Amino acid sequence: MQSVHRSANKVNNTPSNVDIGTISIPILQQFDEVMTEHADSVDDEFRPPEPIEMHPISSPVQIDFNDIQDEVDFWNSSIICYIIGANPPIHVMEGFIRRIWKNFNVDKVVLVKKGIYLVRFLTMDMRDKVTSGHFFFDSKPMIVKPWSVDMDMEKEEIKYVPIWIQLILNFKYWGEKSLFKIVSQLGKPIKRDAATVSRDKLQYARVLVDMPITQKLPDQVSFMNEHSELVQVPITYEWRPTVCDNCKLVGHSTIECRKGKTKRIWVQKKQQVQNHTEVVAPEVDQEGFQRTLRPIRVRPTNLVPTPVVNSFQMLNDDGGH
């Protein structure tokens, strides 16, 4: 046992190369050096992948219906809507939609592009109920269409729009049969409002008519009554579409159209400064050389006439004596 302890003491007392100073241990060691020293201990699954050599694409990848089916199933219960003659911001449109369709389980309202909105419902049944109705934003018609996979996210060229009209008409003509026959001269009658149907307000009859906007809207409509007498009824439009002759879109006039309009840039006009110079006769010396003189700039001055008055008025009175 003693020999063992002596050998241990001998080992412990033997100075190492580090104590002598022949080997230096750096306090801070570079990270890449540490990784190089322990590279063999790194697992293969943590090694960086080998660089992939890029080759030119000979043929593009093929997307099948199975690849897009998840997104199609998600948006199938959606509609595309936009307002004729208005582009409200998304927060205004979302508040408006959630208010008028609060009982139709609206999931989300998103902006597709300027003036075009996508509304998703929780069920297909709720979507179908919305597409069967007519809705208006600030008396302007809102176009509502069910979303489809191959749908073009652009505003179509509108030729017919639903417009509410008011007719000051004898209430004996307020029945659907006679009223629709009268307004059919303007377009396709859609429905009467609730007050007209219930006969609660007898000031005027209110009818929704799908009217063409490619022609001028008439100010009155005429019909022959039951006594074969001509009756002329003035028309009040709750909204009149403004059609641009340049781009054929609704909502702005031809003067306000931005399509094909050149941009005007304000450029400051340079002021022309008139220099008043005095012409000086050239001076010629005895040898015939002419001396060049610089023109002298003279500012124009207004000459004030000097009044001349005879202060000796008494001489004129005495006749010169």
Q: Which residue has the higher pLDDT, 18 or 288?
A: 288
pLDDT, position 15: 55
Residue 10 pLDDT: 46
User: What's the pLDDT at 317?
Assistant: 55
pLDDT value at 271 more than 50:
yes
Q: How far is it, in rounded angstroms, from Cα 100 to Cα 142?
A: 12
- What's the CA gap between 172 and 232, in Å, rounded? 15
Per DSSP, what are the bridge partners of residue 106?
Answer: 121
- The rounded percent of the chain whose pLDDT value lies above 90 is 44
* CA 216 – CA 49 distance, rounded (Å): 70
pLDDT band at 8 (very low <50, low <70, confident <90, very high): very low
Amino acid at position 280, single letter: V
Pairing of strands 116-121, 188-192: unpaired
Residues near 74 by beta carbon (within 8 Å), at least 6 away in sequence: 120
The whole-number pLDDT of residue 26 equals 52
Model confidence at 221, pLDDT cuts 50, 70, 90, reads very high
What pLDDT score does 123 carry? 94
* pTM summary value: 0.56
Distance of CA 15 to the CA centre of its chain: 82
Confidence check: pLDDT of 298 > 80: no
Instruction: Write out the two tokens for 88.
Output: 């409200």
Nearest by Cα to 137 from 205, 83, 183 = 83
CA dist 77 to 107, 122, 146, 262, Å?
10, 7, 8, 43
Assign residue 106 a region (left: φ > 0; alpha: ψ between -120 and 50; beta: otherwise).
beta
The token pair that represents 192 in the structure block: 């009467």
| pLDDT, tens digit, 9 for 90 and up, residues 13-49 | 555 554 555 555 554 455 455 555 555 555 555 566 6
List, for residues 194-204, the tens digit of each pLDDT value.
Answer: 999 999 888 99
Q: For residue range 134-161, list pLDDT tens digits in order.
A: 999 998 999 999 999 888 777 767 788 8
User: Mean per-residue pLDDT for 260-276?
Assistant: 64
Is residue 95 within 8 A of residue 138, CB to CB? The reply is: no
Decide: 163 and 239 in contact? Cβ < 8 Å: yes
Is 68-146 in CATH node 2.40.50.140? no
Least confident of 128-132, 232-236, 285-289, 314-318: 314-318
Say what the pLDDT of residue 306 is: 67
The better pLDDT of the pair 245, 237 is held by 237
CB 179 within 8 A of CB 190: no
> Measured between alpha carbons, how far is 169 from 221 in angstroms, rounded to an integer?
11
Boundaries of every domain in the chain: 68-146, 160-237
Per-residue three-class SS string for the chain: CHHHHHHHHHHHHCCCHHHHCCCCCCCCCCHHHHHHHCHHHCCHHHCCCCCCCCCCCCCCCCCCHHHHHHHHHHHCCEEEEEECCCCCCHHHHHHHHHHHCCCCCEEEEEEEECCEEEEEECCHHHHHHHHCCCEEECCEEEEEEECCCCCCCCCCCCCEEEEEEEECCCHHHCCHHHHHHHHCCCCEEEEECHHHHHCCCCCCEEEEEEEECCCCCCCEEEEECCCCCEEEEEEEECCCCCECCCCCCECCCCCCCCCCCCCCCCCCCCCCCCCCEECCCCEECCCCCEECCCCEECCCCCCCCCCCCCCCHHHHHCCCC
pLDDT reported for residue 208? 95
Report the percentage of the chain scoring pLDDT > 70.
59
